[in-house]
């Protein structure tokens, strides 16, 4: 199985993860309508069967339901599972003890005493400072409850500060989880990608398929059946799809050349950037199996650059 290290601390995970925001989330992702617990259990098992054993969740996904589902599924498999979750510094959780308590609750929902990666979901510094976050999590590494520390949605400057404070405790910042895809390359322009490479911080790329736009399954005819957050995204419109036609055409050509799907091409493009782990969502077994097909092969450098040009 293709693997990658998280940051420079030596923790190794599969080169593709599984994002589980939709698992248990009824607000954004129509959980319980279009798909349910049996479907996501199938996604979990199909991922593990394909060798993809790194799952990213958060305490706010489904208000804890995503963690509970992963905890349940993990107990039903003999395969070692690596789990990443996140703390969201909501306004009333304003003490260092809040972070410790939140981690305890996540571990209980996940039915484990240790997780691979714990991340600060957003840098809401008006609540707690980066130094507070990092010092608490450094202590948790030393206690053995987490193996690695990460951040999410941090700017280059904020990531540098987090790296600095952890380094003072003898610990490396492992990841920055940010949106990154062929249709969202903001981290290439705002300094996050360059700084992460300089610091040795791995990028966890969420929304790597742009909420499904890069799968090729959306057409003007299917748009009327949209559910959840996609109904708010202007790209999911006849005009939005038309603007992306050149990229979609290139993805289709490459798909035929490699006998892969557009989604697999898009995920492989991210993996080809180096030190980037895509964490696509999967609501069922078929989607999970399809995602895993992005591993074990590589686009050429010329094809990587062609896709970059077509997506600009």
Active site residue 154: no
- C-alpha pair distances (Å), 247 with each of 40, 55, 71, 213: 30, 29, 39, 11
Query: Among 46, 32, 9, which Cα is nearest to 293's?
Result: 46
d(C-alpha 311, C-alpha 247), whole Å: 6
Cα–chain center distance at 311: 21
Query: Among 38, 2, 36, 9, which Cα is nearest to 267's?
Result: 2
**∠ CA 32-33-36 to the nearest 5 degrees?**
40
R_g of the chain, CA atoms, integer Å: 19
Query: Among 52, 80, 59, 55, which Cα is nearest to 70's?
Result: 55
Catalytic-role residue among 31, 61, 118, 180 = 61
Cα–chain center distance at 205: 5
What is the set of active-site residues? 61
């Amino acid at each position: 199985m293709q693997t990658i290290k998280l940051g420079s601390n030596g923790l190794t995970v599969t080169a593709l993860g599984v994002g589980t925001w939709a698992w248990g989330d009824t607000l954004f992702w129509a959980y319980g309508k279009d798909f349910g617990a049996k479907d996501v259990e199938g996604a979990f098992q199909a991922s593990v069967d394909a060798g993809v054993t790194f799952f990213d969740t958060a305490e706010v996904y489904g208000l804890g339901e995503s963690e509970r589902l992963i905890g349940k599924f993990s107990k039903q498999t003999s395969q070692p599972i690596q789990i990443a979750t996140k703390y969201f510094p909501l306004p009333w959780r304003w003490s260092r003890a809040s972070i410790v308590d939140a981690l305890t609750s996540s571990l209980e929902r996940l039915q484990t005493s240790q997780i691979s990666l714990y991340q600060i979901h957003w840098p809401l510094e008006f609540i707690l400072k980066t130094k507070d976050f990092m010092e608490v999590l450094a202590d948790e590494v030393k206690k053995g409850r987490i193996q690695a520390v990460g951040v999410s949605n941090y700017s280059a400057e904020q990531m540098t500060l987090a790296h600095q404070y952890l380094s003072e405790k003898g610990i490396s910042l492992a990841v920055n989880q940010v949106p990154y895809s062929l249709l969202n390359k903001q981290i290439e322009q705002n300094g996050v990608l360059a700084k992460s490479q300089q610091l040795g911080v791995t990028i966890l790329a969420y929304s790597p398929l742009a909420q499904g736009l890069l799968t090729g399954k959306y057409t003007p005819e299917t748009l009327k059946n949209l559910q959840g957050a996609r109904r708010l995204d202007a790209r999911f419109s006849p005009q939005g799809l038309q603007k992306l036609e050149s990229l979609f055409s290139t993805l289709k050509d490459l798909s035929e050349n490699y006998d892969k799907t557009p989604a697999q091409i898009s995920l492989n493009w991210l993996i080809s950037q180096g030190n980037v782990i895509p964490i696509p969502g999967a609501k069922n077994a078929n989607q999970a199996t399809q995602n895993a097909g992005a591993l074990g092969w590589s686009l050429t450098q010329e094809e990587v650059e062609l896709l970059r040009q077509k997506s600009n």
